[in-house]
């Protein structure tokens, strides 16, 4: 290339720079929190081996609906809406969590003036029933899931997702809209393909939505991992990863099942900008 041409190219690059600085703003506009279940269990130490043995614990179970310029994105779907129709909810078995559902997810979505069919994108942190209970309320929505979770076998070789549900299988982190505003973080351990979510809101700032990488604040403070997790070593590494993301993004951690923290948050129809 001749020098004159090089100079022209350099000028063109310099000319382009202001335009590059005007790349579209991250497209997240707001975030709603829905009550997607209320749980109670007889013994907290199921999640914190040797600590608070025999002490009952209550859990929140949240879903988060995010308005992005490209469409509505739902994170987690809670316990199945049918539990709302059962008097007494769904009792816990063998020390597990009993669930109530004061309000259906579908009803909470309609309360803000949209329909489940308007949700174009979704992801669940993992496939346990308190997160994956209502995936098929959104049969049209593209679901983003780690391949390791999608392929995690169920007894009788049943699939964890309906084969006809639109899916994007991931192997690691994924920036859903390419603008850094909604990023799936691979945080395996609780289940093989567990993921958490980084969301950047224009006024509230950056949040990390935990999924079940951690269940409640005391476990987070002490970096405790439940012994029943699919892989406890990977679980501990995922807590470290979340700690690093929180520091790098100056983000706040919202722990899905932490009832005390959830009680401090605004639920729909209020929202975060
Ligand atoms: Zn859970």
Task: Tell me, in angstroms, the distance from the centre of ligand 1 to residue 37's CA.
Answer: 10
Task: Tell me, in angstroms, the distance from the centre of ligand 1 to residue 211's CA.
Answer: 7
- What are the chain's domains? 25-262 (3.60.15.10)
Give the three-class secondary structure for 249. Answer: helix
Sign (positive or negative) of CA dihedral 48, 54, 55, 56: positive
Give the three-class secondary structure for 101. Answer: coil
Burial 88-120 (b: 16+ CB within 10 A, else e): ebbeeeeeebbbbbebbbeebbeeeeeebeebb
Task: Tell me, in angstroms, the distance from the centre of ligand 1 to residue 84's CA.
Answer: 18
Task: Tell me, in angstroms, the distance from the centre of ligand 1 to residue 111's CA.
Answer: 25
Radius of gyration of the chain (CA): 21
pLDDT tens digits along 147-196: 999 999 988 778 899 999 999 999 999 999 999 999 999 999 999 999 99
DSSP state of 24: P
Task: Tell me, in angstroms, the distance from the centre of ligand 1 to residue 248's CA.
Answer: 26
Which candidate, 245, 147, 244, places its Cα nearest to that of 194? 147
Task: Tell me, in angstroms, the distance from the centre of ligand 1 to residue 92's CA.
Answer: 13
Structure pTM?
Answer: 0.90
DSSP 31-48: EEEEEEEEEEES-GGGTS
DSSP 181-194: SEEEEE--SSSTT-
Task: Tell me, in angstroms, the distance from the centre of ligand 1 to residue 82's CA.
Answer: 18
pLDDT tens digits along 79-134: 999 999 999 999 999 889 999 999 999 999 999 999 999 999 999 999 999 999 99
Per-residue tokens: 175: 């920036």
- Tell me if 198 sits within 8 A of 185, measured CB to CB: yes
pLDDT tens digits along 197-227: 999 999 999 999 999 999 999 999 999 999 9
């Amino acid at each position: 290339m001749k020098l004159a041409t090089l100079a022209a190219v350099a000028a063109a690059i310099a000319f382009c720079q202001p335009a590059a600085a005007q790349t579209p703003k991250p497209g997240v506009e707001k975030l709603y929190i829905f009550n997607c279940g209320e749980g109670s269990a007889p013994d907290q130490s199921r999640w914190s081996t040797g600590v608070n043995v025999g002490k009952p614990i209550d859990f929140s179970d949240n879903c988060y609906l995010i308005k992005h310029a490209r469409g509505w994105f739902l994170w987690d779907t809670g316990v199945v809406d049918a539990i709302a129709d059962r008097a007494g909810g769904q009792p816990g078995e063998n020390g597990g969590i009993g669930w109530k559902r004061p309000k259906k997810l579908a009803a909470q979505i309609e309360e803000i003036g949209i329909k489940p069919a308007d949700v174009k994108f979704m992801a669940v942190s993992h496939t346990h029933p308190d997160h994956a209970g209502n995936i098929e309320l959104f049969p049209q929505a593209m679901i983003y899931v780690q391949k390791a979770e999608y392929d995690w076998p169920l007894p009788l070789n049943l699939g964890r997702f309906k084969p006809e549900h639109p899916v994007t299988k991931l192997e690691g982190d994924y920036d859903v809209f390419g603008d850094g505003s909604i990023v799936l973080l691979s945080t395996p351990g609780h289940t093989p393909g567990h993921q958490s979510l980084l969301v950047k809101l224009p006024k509230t700032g950056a949040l990390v939505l935990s999924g079940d990488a951690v269940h409640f604040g005391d476990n987070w403070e002490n970096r405790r991992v439940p012994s029943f997790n699919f892989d406890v070593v990977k679980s501990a590494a995922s807590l470290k990863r979340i700690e690093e993301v929180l520091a790098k993004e100056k983000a706040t951690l919202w722990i899905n099942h932490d009832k005390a923290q959830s009680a401090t948050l605004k639920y729909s129809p209020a929202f975060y900008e």
